[in-house]
Amino acid sequence: MSKYDNLDPRTLAAQALGWEDPSTGAVVPPVQFATTFTRLPDHGQREYFYARYGSPNAVHAEAVLAELEGAAAALSFASGLAACTAPFHALMQGDHVVCAKPVYHGVIAWLEEFAEARGLEVGYFANGDLDALKAAIIPGRTKIVWLESPANPMWSVIDIAAAAKIVHEGGALLAIDSTCATPVLTKPLELGADIVCHAATKYLGGHSDVLAGMLATREVTDFWRRIEDHRRLAGSTLGAMEAYLLTRGMRTLFLRVERQCANAMKVAEYLAAHPKVARVRYPGLKSDPYHAIAAKQMQGGFGGMLSFEPKGGREEAIRVVTSCKVFKAATSLGGVESLIEHRRTSEGKTKTDTPEALIRISVGIEAAEDLIADLDAALARI
């Protein structure tokens, strides 16, 4: 049970768990750059030993995320993908993994390029299809099922509680990349997931100025300790400055995500009514195939991510992207500034089913009117 049980997550986030410097009363932690820490006079070990094993700023960020996710523990990593792939690194030769498709392309790329070489077997299923998930699990051999919700770049939403039941019946662990839902909108561990993953580079950091990843666990198990061993021995630990920025970002997480959800809804409604737009994918729209499950599972909004396809194809999509001025033509997501990208261009050589005309947008905290006017001018050019 948490020692902060009587406080709302918004309060805990805003105060980074109420941290205060014991000697000066400073309300903001210093950045502790030291890579090594002295032993006690009796040669015993202090809380910190060597920075690759963990350091004060990283431990603070981990404590904040653990609290927001209702987790028993959290670990920070040098990037989102270092966090996503850590559970796979902790598996043994011959283990079987099930991964939803589509999910963030980097996870698929890692599984395709490295899983087999490491003696892992991988099965895929269509994200959102629970029957296909059940069929993909090999009871006794499947160790991890990897999902993302809402999932890049089509924003399918999977019923996490129903998925957890199926995964646990098959004897596997459910890991969810919850980067785009954030702990503001969805609590996967409460819904039955075992491990939740964040590309903290995105919403948790929130300002496009820190590369970081995090995992949080419902229980501290032997497998979780093995993930921690992997991080220490692979050296994918988060640096002090990054951890400091990440904690600072998480203080405004709720405000940012609330505004991003409101802006995204306005942008999605505008696009859905536009005669030159063939399709909008946003779980907040009542017409979206994932709306019902998203409304049940997501609290307070449907996130800041959406995709749309202008009429025409790749060429028209790229023209829209390059015509935007307020939206910046860049990959990534979750920052305060709105970004727009032609997704197939960003996915590079990864094999995906992303439609050629698909444009992914990450909605920031700007005035929604400016965002809509920008898209309006860009769509007028096709």
Ligand X SMILES: *Cc1c(COP(=O)(O)O)cnc(C)c1O
Catalytic residue positions, numbered: 52, 104, 177, 202
- Is there binding between residue 268 and ligand X (CB under 6 A)? no
User: Are 363 and 270 a contacting pair, CB within 8 Å?
Assistant: no
Nearer to ligand X, 12 or 108 (CB): 108
Binding positions for ligand X, 209-228, rule CB under 6 A: 211, 213
282 near ligand X, rule: CB under 6 A? no
Nearer CB in complex with ligand X: 236/323:
236
Nearest-angstrom CA–CA distance, 181 and 286: 18
For position 99 contacting ligand X by CB under 6 A, the verdict is: no
Q: Is 249 in the site for ligand X (CB under 6 A)?
A: no
Q: How many CB atoms lie within 10 A of CB 73?
A: 17
Closest approach, Cβ 211 to ligand X, in A, equals: 5
Cβ at position 229, least distance to ligand X in Å: 21
Counting contacts by CB under 6 A, is residue 201 touching ligand X? yes
Rank residues 201 and 338 by Cβ distance to ligand X and give the closer one: 201
Q: Is 269 exposed, middle or buried (0-12, 13-18, 19+ CB in 10 A)?
A: middle
Q: Cβ closer to ligand X: 67 or 148? A: 148
Query: Peptide bond before 102: cis, by omega within 30 degrees of 0?
Result: yes
Whose CA is closest to 242, among 211, 279, 272? 211
CB of 6 to ligand X, least distance (A): 32
Decide if residue 80 touches ligand X (CB under 6 A): yes
Q: How far is CA 287 from CA 29, 272, 281, 283, in A?
A: 46, 9, 9, 8
Q: How far apart are CA 121 and CA 97, in angstroms?
A: 6
Among 16, 71, 75, 84, binds ligand X (CB under 6 A): 84
Judged by CB, which is closer to ligand X: 316, or 344? 344
Q: Which of 178, 169, 184, 93 is nearest to 138 (CA)?
A: 169
Candidate ranges 5-13, 112-120, 197-205, 273-281; the one touching ligand X (CB under 6 A): 197-205
Residue 50 pairs in a beta bridge with: 36
Q: Positive or negative CA dihedral for 152, 157, 161, 164? A: negative
Of the candidates 266, 284, 285, 277, which has an alpha carbon nearest to the alpha carbon of residue 366?
A: 266
Interface with ligand X: number of residues (CB under 6 A) = 17
**Shortest distance (Å) from residue 163 CB to ligand X:** 17
**8 A C-beta contact, residue 341 and residue 313:** no
Residue 4 CB, shortest distance to ligand X, in Å, is 27
* Contact present, 338 and 222 (Cβ < 8 Å): no
* 106 or 289: CB nearest ligand X: 106
Sequence-distant (6+) residues with CB within 8 A of 338 are 263, 326, 327, 328, 361, 362, 363, 364, 366, 371
Binder to ligand X among 85, 149, 179, 237 (CB under 6 A)?
179
Closer Cβ to ligand X, 77 or 270, answer by number: 77
335 is a site residue for ligand X (CB under 6 A): no
CB of 76 to ligand X, least distance (A): 11
Question: Which residue from 148, 159, 194, 228 is in contact with ligand X, where contact means CB under 6 A?
Answer: 148
106 binds ligand X (CB under 6 A): yes
Cβ-proximal residue to ligand X, closest one: 80
Contact predicate 234/342, CB 8 Å: no
Q: Which residues bind ligand X (CB under 6 A)?
A: 79-81, 84, 104, 106, 148, 152, 177, 179-180, 199, 201-202, 211, 213, 333
